[in-house]
Amino acid sequence: MFNRRTFNRVIFRNLTFMGRKERREREAKRENYASQRSSEKRRNTLIAVAVLAVIALIVGYAAFQFATMTETAPGGPENAGALGSEHSHTGILVKIFGDTFDFSSPSYQLKNRWIHFEGNDGTTIHKHATGVKLGYLFESLSIGLDNECFVFPNEKEYCNTDKYSLKFFINGEQVDNIVDYEPMDDDKVLISFGDETPEEIEGQLLELQAQQLVK
């Protein structure tokens, strides 16, 4: 028969065993939790590194493509050189009945990579390849232009009549058409529509000459 002392010893041993078991279980839980957290951190780190590597690869490839793209790329002008084969700046002034047409609007900024307006400026044409004509610039802006008419994207057109005429000047010299003209560095181009007097045309040319090229 168990006496009270023996009974107490048995109870103490059982409680001690249970306490040790619970401690081991808690320790095991802590170790499992720490191990899981460490694994999660490593996995998240590896995922982040992989994502950054993919982004860097994409950005690098895009930069390479942009730097090496040639005239065969979609949307490129016919017979143009490779992108980067030239970087020239040409001043332009368009006057419609004496009012200046504003190319600084977002609608006319960076419409193609070969020749464009940029930097919220509407007075300097940036050309990034040889062989690119002014006609391609206006085509990319959805502006119709020939030796008879200047047609806006909203289809409002200004065409030669008995009273009004479309006039083109390159570096102060009047020409019949500028569509097939390739602008060169420091050129100045005036397009004027209306019934201007020679003195008014001279004033527009002086205004154009005073424009600073944005480089």
> pLDDT per residue over 45-54, tens digit each?
666 656 566 4
Q: How far, in Å, CA of 52 to CA of 40, rounded? A: 18
pLDDT at 20 over 60: yes
Q: What is the pLDDT of residues 71-108, one digit of tens each?
A: 444 557 989 999 999 999 999 999 999 999 999 999 99
What pTM did the predictor assign? 0.66
So what's the pLDDT on residue 165? 97
CA angle 213, 142, 140 (to 5 degrees): 55
pLDDT, one tens digit per residue, over 125-138 is: 999 999 999 999 99
- In this structure, the dihedral spanned by the alpha carbons of residues 189, 191, 192 and 197, taken in order and rounded to 10 degrees, is 30
Residue 14 has pLDDT above 80, yes or no: no
- Structure tokens, 9: 């010893």
pLDDT given for residue 56 in this prediction: 55
Residue 24 phi/psi, 5° resolution? -60, -40
DSSP strand pairing (188-194 vs 165-170) = antiparallel
- The contacts found for 59-65 with CB under 8 angstroms, 24 or more apart, are none
Percent of the chain at pLDDT > 90 equals 63
pLDDT at 70: 42
Sorted by sequence, the CB contacts under 8 Å of residue 109 that are 6+ apart come out as 103, 116, 117, 118, 119, 120
CB contact at 8 A, 138 and 180: no
Mean pLDDT of 7-27: 61
Average pLDDT, the chain: 82
Q: Across residues 158-183, what is the average pLDDT?
A: 97
Can you give the length of the chain in residues? 215
Q: What per-residue confidence (pLDDT) applies to 112?
A: 95
- Cα-based distances in Å from 10 to 3, 4, 6, 7, 24: 11, 10, 6, 5, 21
